[in-house]
């Protein structure tokens, strides 16, 4: 069976980033660099690897730098060319003309509301969602999280979310799935609950920041009231779709770093620097020295 291809990705980037203050007072969380690339670029690269063409950013006040990052920096390129500098470092940040679209979420009412703000651009197609502060890193020689999800989508269609397992004492901070039948990396999703108390959590499989959803979710979001934390939650809208359309979770074969938290950000920086051929050995020596 063939399903409509996933051509569009929504990047909700209108959050306030309060956990990362004061760094995020002026600089959007998504532009904080892990080694030498802003967080948003890791997510866009992951989308491109999965064959996605159109990048839709849901931005807010003070977030326009995110869109500019994917523009051509004409003066910079001209000056670098005149000085004989290598321009290839800038290549990856360029977008195909017309493929970057920004919509505005005027008030940060929650992740579900941010996604709904992209409804006119998403239209009647299944689409991907990336939360850029969750940095998903492929295993050496492996593929990225969204590519793994698109491959699973091509088999089962419907809606997919990426999940990972955490110790039970951490579940109350996340969206949690009620798991059904498991087949390899695919788990049927029977239910979803946002930030449940530990005793009521249906599993330790938490929703991590990648989704493939059918466009019907926009109609559910339209009437979605406030949920946990007084925010319009995407998890609540997805929970209503279960039973009406296929719903699966994909356990990502790779590593995930929560760059919305300070410690997670440091962990991601270390992991990526250690894995880089151009600096790994030097960073390892520094880390070992600091640990003495």
Applying CB under 6 A, the residues found at the interface with ligand UTP are: 12-20, 29, 58, 105, 108-111, 113-114, 131-133, 260
**Tokens describing residue 97:** 């003309």
Comparison of 173 and 244: residue with beta carbon closer to ligand UTP: 173
Comparison of 61 and 139: residue with beta carbon closer to ligand UTP: 61
**Tokens describing residue 101:** 């679209």
CB of 60 to ligand UTP, least distance (A): 7
Comparison of 157 and 260: residue with beta carbon closer to ligand UTP: 260
Comparison of 108 and 158: residue with beta carbon closer to ligand UTP: 108
Q: CB–CB of 210/146 below 8 Å?
A: yes
Comparison of 24 and 157: residue with beta carbon closer to ligand UTP: 24
CB of 56 to ligand UTP, least distance (A): 12
CB of 117 to ligand UTP, least distance (A): 8
CB of 6 to ligand UTP, least distance (A): 19
Comparison of 111 and 272: residue with beta carbon closer to ligand UTP: 111
Instruction: Tell me which residue has its CB nearest to ligand UTP.
Output: 15
CB of 17 to ligand UTP, least distance (A): 5
CB of 158 to ligand UTP, least distance (A): 23
């Amino acid at each position: 069976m063939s399903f409509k291809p996933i051509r569009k990705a929504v990047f909700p980037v209108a959050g306030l980033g309060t956990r990362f203050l004061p760094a995020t007072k002026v600089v959007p969380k998504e532009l904080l660099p892990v080694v030498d690339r802003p967080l948003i670029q890791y997510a866009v690269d992951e989308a491109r690897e999965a064959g996605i063409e159109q990048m839709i950013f849901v931005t807010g006040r003070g977030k326009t730098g995110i869109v500019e990052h994917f523009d051509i920096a004409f003066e910079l390129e001209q000056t670098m060319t005149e000085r004989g500098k290598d321009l290839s470092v800038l290549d990856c940040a360029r977008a195909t003309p017309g493929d970057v679209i920004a919509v505005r979420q005027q008030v940060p009412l929650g992740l579900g509301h941010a996604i709904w703000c992209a409804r006119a651009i998403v239209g009647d197609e299944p689409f991907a969602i990336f939360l850029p502060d969750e940095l998903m890193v492929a295993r050496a020689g492996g593929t990225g999280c969204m590519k793994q999800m698109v491959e699973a989508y091509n088999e089962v269609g419907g809606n997919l979310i990426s999940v990972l397992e955490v110790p039970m004492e951490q579940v109350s901070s996340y969206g949690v799935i009620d798991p059904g039948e498991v087949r390899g990396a695919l788990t049927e999703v029977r239910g979803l609950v946002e930030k449940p108390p530990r005793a009521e959590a249906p599993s330790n499989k938490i929703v991590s920041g990648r989704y493939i959803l059918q466009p019907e979710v926009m109609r559910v979001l339209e009437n979605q009231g406030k949920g946990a934390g007084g925010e319009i939650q995407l998890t609540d809208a997805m929970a209503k779709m279960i039973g009406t359309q296929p719903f699966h979770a994909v356990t990502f074969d790779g590593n995930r770093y929560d760059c919305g938290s300070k410690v997670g950000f440091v962990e991601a920086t270390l992991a990526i620097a250690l894995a880089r051929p151009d600096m790994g050995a030097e960073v390892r020596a520094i880390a070992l020295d600091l640990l003495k």
